[in-house]
Structure 1
Amino acid sequence: MDFTVSGPNGIHLSVKRRVVEYTQDGFTFSYYASCVSPSREDCSGLPADSLTLVIAHGLGLYVETYYPMISHLYARSHDPNSPFRIRAVWLIEHANHNDSSMLNESTLKSHYTKLFPIQYFGHGIVAFLKSGLVDLHDPNLIPVAHCGGAGGMVLAVDTLFRHDRFQPRCAILIEPLLFDRRVEAPFRDFTNRVHVYNKKREHLWQNVDEAIAYHTKKHPWNTWDLEVLRWMSRSAFRTVPSTISPNNKPFVTLKTSLQQESASFEFDGPLIAGSVLLELIPKLPVHIIMAEKQNMWSPPMYENQVDLLDRSKSQLASFRVISGAGHCAPQDNPVDSAAALFEALLADYTRCAAQTASSQTAKL
């Protein structure tokens, strides 16, 4: 499915979806990778060193809810004063989320009703990066990820770093899963609460408007940007046929089932990813973007996260905070999230330019 997104400053973005496959536990999983890029008119004359970003979404979120942030990011990068351009932004969908979950529905219902960990997201990202849709060794390829997607991305980068000589110029992580084993018990409690809550959540509505009205009264959707909610209403729901819905009436439900959302929320994978991230930070320029509001994790988990960030800040390529946003920063505040992402890219551009200048001076 291809379509166009109109962004700020008159930029028109084309969205093209491609199917990627990988094998896990003897099963073949298919998922969508969506390429968001300027229309032909807007991308004419892009320099050869234009950037390609690969974004992994957060758990329980939909790739379309990142379109507003991406649109504003393109507007900034295509400003005449920007020293760099973005050629393409790829969004990688978790195989048990959104439209991808429907590609794998039979396997998920038969074998993965309890657990579908972020390690599997990492395997899917590895498959994409090695698929040929992007050049794994392109010096202008930059991994970007949010929340649980950051856990999957960290595991993927580490795997490719060790086995395929993957050396991206940097990685940018928004609200990453950065915890250690000191909070294993609180993290377990958190995931248990998610599972209990999802068993009680409504999951059928008469129409999309009713579904959106329900969600905008609940955390985390009640703080989301209006344009993000519009994309949610367009993309996040599917119709339940009258033959299998209550009272033989058609209903709408979320494409990502509550069962699969719960299966994705587990504590061990994020703790493994947090440990791997701490090992990667000294080896790779890592930019971390956090949100001002602490509205997702328990106090002990936030204390653990702050402690690990404080210990790592001197080794980070950059660190910044999005004012007024919560854990779902790209959905809460896509404008300022795009600004923070642009600033991280600018910091990386400045670092690379300084290295190039230093290298050229050394040759004189």
Structure 2
Amino acid sequence: MILVEPTMMTREILKNALEKDTHLIRAVEVARKRKDIWPSREAAREYFSTRLPWRRWDKRVLDLYTEHALYDLPTSTYPDKKGVTFTITRAQEAGSMSHHEDGFDALDILQSICPVLPVHTVFGEHDDMVPVETQEAIVSVAEGRRMKSIVRVAGAGHLVVQEDPCGTALAIWGILQGEYAQVTIRVPSHL
């Protein structure tokens, strides 16, 4: 199993995150208030290219995002508007950062998976969104989550897949090479 920037945290870390001004609180607020209508995909692409987090993304990812993560208006959310908007609403995005039970459950399940299955974790090098203490809790040996490997992609942050897809792919490839380099696959001959 390979986890890439997993979105999990302990209940204690979440409690602390909700008590002070953190990346999580700010991300939810930004999602609730952010601009979400543009006159065209080209205008949206231009907007994204100058603002975080999108301006840090690989150009190819940003192009695909602009093509596939936007709906043409009107939509049920904006029945009287023209242009383009996100495929998910602001409320849906904020909600995705506000429900944490799946992350708690995943951490619990990892405790039973790690002893029987090699689990690898890929993080971005920078803790721009997910604090180091959260990453350490995810891979906590004391909590029974002993990873087979932990890889950090240089120069990337929490959105490592979008920021450095090649670096992410190389990290995964390196894990697979290490895991399966000694495996000989026999393919039956059809002579």
Q: Which has the higher strand share?
A: 1
Structure 1 runs (4+) greater than 6 angstroms displaced: none
Change in Cα spacing, 1:326 to 1:192, as seen in structure 2 (3 Å) is closer
The amino acid of 2:121's aligned partner reads: I
1:243-282 paired onto structure 2 within 5 Å: 244-246=79-81, 250-265=82-97, 266-282=99-115
C-alpha change, 1:258 and 1:201, in structure 2 (3 Å) is same
Residues 179 and 275, structure 1, Cα contact 8 Å, conserved in 2: no
Assess if the C-alpha contact under 8 Å between 1:198 and 1:258 holds in 2: yes
Q: Does 1:205 align with 2:38?
A: yes
**What CA deviation, in whole Å up to 9, does each residue of 1:132-157 have, x standing for no partner?**
xxxxxxxxxxxxxxxxxxxxxxxxxx
Describe the SS at the equivalent of 1:305.
helix
Q: Name the residue aligned to 1:185.
A: 15
* Percent of matched pairs sharing the same residue: 26
Which amino acid in the other structure matches residue 90 of structure 2? L
What is the rounded CA distance, in whole Å, between the counterparts of 1:201 and 1:220 in structure 2? 12
Alignment partner of 2:160 out of 321, 324, 329: 329
TM-score for both structures, normalised by structure 2: 0.80
The runs of 5 or more residues in structure 1 that have no matched partner are 1-170, 357-364
AA aligned opposite 1:292: E
Cα deviation 1:75-108 (Å, max 9, x = unaligned): xxxxxxxxxxxxxxxxxxxxxxxxxxxxxxxxxx
What is the alpha-carbon distance in structure 1 between the residues aligned to residue 156 and residue 7 of structure 2?
17
Could you report, residue by residue, the CA deviation over 1:101-127 in whole angstroms, capped at 9, with x for unpaired residues?
xxxxxxxxxxxxxxxxxxxxxxxxxxx
Q: Secondary structure at the match of 1:326?
A: coil
Q: Distance in 2 between matches of 1:333 and 1:314?
A: 26
Structure 1 partner of 2:188: none
Query: Which letter does structure 2 place at the counterpart of 1:321?
Result: R
The structure showing larger relative contact order (alpha-carbon pairs under 8 Å, at least 6 residues apart) is 2
Query: Aligned to 1:253, what secondary structure does the other structure show?
Result: strand
1:230 aligns with 2:60: no
Distance 1:263 1:315 in 2: 30
Q: Residues 1-364 of structure 1 correspond to what in structure 2 (within 5 A)?
A: 171-188=1-18, 191-241=24-74, 244-246=79-81, 250-265=82-97, 266-297=99-130, 299=131, 302-309=132-139, 311=141, 315-350=146-181, 353=183
Residue 191 of structure 1 deviates from its aligned partner by 4.8
Per-residue CA deviation, residues 130-184 of structure 1 (Å, 9 max, x unaligned), is xxxxxxxxxxxxxxxxxxxxxxxxxxxxxxxxxxxxxxxxx11111134222212
Unaligned runs of 5+ in 2: 186-191
Once residues 107 and 17 of structure 2 are traced to their aligned partners in structure 1, the CA distance between those partners, rounded to angstroms, is: 13
Take 1:272 and 1:191, find their aligned partners in 2: how far apart are those partners? 19
What is the root-mean-square deviation in Å for CA atoms of aligned residues?
A: 2.7
Q: Distance in 2 between matches of 1:262 and 1:188?
A: 14
Flag the 1:182–1:314 CA change in 2: closer, same or farther, 3 A.
closer
Letter aligned with residue 88 of structure 2: T
State the secondary structure of the residue aligned to 1:311.
coil
Shift of 1:207: 0.8
Q: Is the Cα contact below 8 Å between 1:191 and 1:267 reproduced in 2?
A: no
Change (3 A) 1:219 1:278: farther
8 Å contact from structure 1 (residues 245, 251) kept in 2: no
- Relative to the length of structure 1, the TM-score reads 0.44
Shift of 1:335: 1.2
C-alpha distance in 2 between matches for 1:227 and 1:308: 30
The structure-2 alpha-carbon separation of the partners of 1:178 and 1:244, relative to structure 1 and needing over 3 Å to count, comes to: closer
Amino acid paired to 2:83: F
1:199 and 1:258 in contact (8 A); partners too: yes
